[in-house]
């Protein structure tokens, strides 16, 4: 019975669709969420530095460079229900673009749109040395970021603003299969972006998966207590974005589909997780000359309180 | 006379030490498979009245709990603390001395 459950769980996980762009403060994937628990009454803190480079293939040769810090606090209301708050801070968000005036740069920064979401464990199968869990997540993103910043050329393009000025909603499901040797996570997430002042980011659907394999210590035989684990990671993100809406129409050069792979490493102790990954595009199908990711570097830590 | 008093004092010291001896429990915990998760169990169990020590062996999926003598630690209380941490209590046993309790599967 137990083994059957594990087999079914593994099968469901491997076949599952998954992900969110809102990583939670938990041991596990670096680029998205996990279903592992936050203990009741306990808090987990996470910081993640993100360096993101994007570009298009069009005549304007747009290049977007982002340096941001994502701060996350997670709190266990019960052992099954956890809430998370995510505050993005943009050190710089810059656009280089070719115009009739020549090559120009426009940039902005500051606190972005803050997200709050909850996660509830609806299925939990614990066994000796492992677990399988499934947890839906639902959340909102508030328009806390500046959405009308300007520079000497006028108001910045809406997609460049650190906030979109609208309330956004997102929901999905995350599944985790964890053993002492490895862990797999998968997440399916849909984000519906609100409209503000005639603009809306295209809605987004993400399917993410992650494999973390313990590479050190090689074996736990003869090791007692709680040693630190080092994991090698490989994460996959399939992201589809609809076209942005502008003034009642759509931007033909926005949105599309992209598949990213992210190798990485993670060191986990009782109180700390230190991690880093590089997301690289392996396939893409942009709409028109839509900007797509070139690479995303993520480094950070998580801490148990 | 001096020898008699010395023996009485020694007996008293040993008695007090015996009365103050800690009690040890070993819990089998299912669902535990990484160091970061182990800390949550430590924190929940450390909040139980009388607990003076919690040692997690993640490889064996066991938790050794030390309590002050005279403090209660029922299986239900252990289950509650483990479940609050998000895991499942597999086994519960009181063990003697500083070793033992390895057979908790």
* HSE-up (13 A, CA, CB side) for residue A275: 32
Query: Cβ–Cβ contacts within 10 Å for residue A35, how many?
Result: 31
How confident is the model at residue B2, as a pLDDT? 54
Does the distance separating the beta carbons of A225 and B56 come in below 8 Å? Answer: yes
Residue B6, in any domain of the structure: no
Chain B residues touching residue A179 (CB < 8 angstroms): 33
Domain ranges, residue B81: 22-95
Domain A2-304, CATH: 2.40.160.40
Does the distance separating the beta carbons of B35 and A131 come in below 8 Å? Answer: no
Q: What average pLDDT does range A287-297 have in this prediction?
A: 97
Supply the ipTM of this predicted assembly.
0.88
Can you give the CATH number for the domain in which B43 is found?
A: 3.30.70.100
Closest-approach residue (CA) in chain A for B88: A126
Chain B residues touching residue A45 (CB < 8 angstroms): none
Residue B70, in any domain of the structure: yes
Does the distance separating the beta carbons of B36 and A302 come in below 8 Å? Answer: yes
How confident is the model at residue A146, as a pLDDT? 97
Residue B8, in any domain of the structure: no
Does position A197 have pLDDT exceeding 60, yes or no? yes
Instruction: Name the band, by pLDDT with cuts 50, 70 and 90, for residue A9.
Output: very low
Closest-approach residue (CA) in chain A for B58: A226
CA dihedral A222, A225, A231, A235 (to 10 degrees): 130
pTM: 0.87
Residue B51, in any domain of the structure: yes
How confident is the model at residue B21, as a pLDDT? 76
Does position A257 have pLDDT exceeding 50, yes or no? yes
Does the distance separating the beta carbons of A270 and B33 come in below 8 Å? Answer: no
Query: Cβ–Cβ contacts within 10 Å for residue A293, how many?
Result: 18
Q: What average pLDDT does range A113-119 have in this prediction?
A: 98
Best mutation site among A44, A74, A131 for testing chain B: the one with the most B CBs within 10 Å? A131
| Domain spans of chain A, in order of start | 2-304
């Amino acid at each position: 019975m137990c083994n059957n459950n594990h087999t079914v769980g593994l099968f469901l996980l491997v076949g599952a669709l998954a992900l969110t762009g809102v990583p939670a403060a938990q041991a596990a994937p670096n680029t998205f969420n996990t279903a592992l628990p936050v203990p009741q009454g306990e808090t987990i803190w996470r910081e993640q530095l993100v360096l993101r480079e994007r570009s298009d293939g069009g005549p304007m040769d747009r290049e977007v460079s982002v340096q941001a810090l994502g701060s996350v606090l997670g709190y266990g209301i019960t052992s099954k229900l956890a809430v998370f708050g995510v505050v993005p801070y943009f050190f710089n968000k810059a656009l280089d673009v070719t115009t009739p005036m020549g090559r120009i740069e426009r940039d902005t920064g500051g606190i972005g749109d803050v997200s709050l979401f909850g996660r509830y464990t609806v299925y939990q199968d614990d066994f000796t040395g492992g677990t399988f869990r499934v947890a839906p997540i639902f959340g909102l993103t508030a328009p806390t970021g500046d959405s009308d910043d300007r520079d000497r050329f006028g108001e910045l393009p809406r997609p460049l603003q650190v906030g979109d000025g609208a309330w956004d909603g997102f929901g999905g499901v995350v599944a985790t299969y964890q053993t002492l040797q490895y862990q797999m996570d998968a997440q399916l997430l849909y984000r519906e972006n609100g409209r503000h002042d005639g603009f809306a980011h295209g809605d987004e659907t993400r399917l993410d998966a992650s494999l973390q394999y313990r590479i050190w210590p090689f074996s736990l035989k003869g090791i007692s207590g709680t040693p630190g684990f080092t994991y090698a990671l490989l994460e996959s993100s399939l992201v589809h974005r609809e076209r942005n809406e502008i003034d009642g129409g759509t931007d033909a050069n926005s949105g599309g589909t992209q598949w990213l792979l992210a190798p990485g490493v993670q060191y986990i102790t009782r109180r700390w997780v230190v991690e880093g990954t590089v997301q690289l595009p392996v396939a893409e199908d942009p709409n028109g000359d839509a900007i797509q990711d070139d690479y995303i570097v993520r480094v950070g830590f998580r801490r148990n309180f | 006379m001096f020898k008699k008093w010395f023996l009485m004092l020694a007996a008293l010291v040993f008695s007090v030490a015996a009365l103050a001896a800690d009690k040890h429990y070993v819990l089998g915990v299912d669902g535990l498979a990484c160091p970061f998760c182990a800390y949550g169990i430590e924190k929940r169990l450390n909040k139980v009245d009388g607990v003076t020590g919690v040692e997690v062996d993640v490889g064996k999926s066991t938790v050794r709990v030390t309590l002050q003598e005279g403090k209660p630690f029922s299986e239900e209380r252990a289950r509650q603390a483990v479940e609050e941490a998000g895991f499942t209590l597999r086994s519960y046993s009181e063990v003697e001395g500083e070793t033992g309790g390895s057979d908790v599967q």
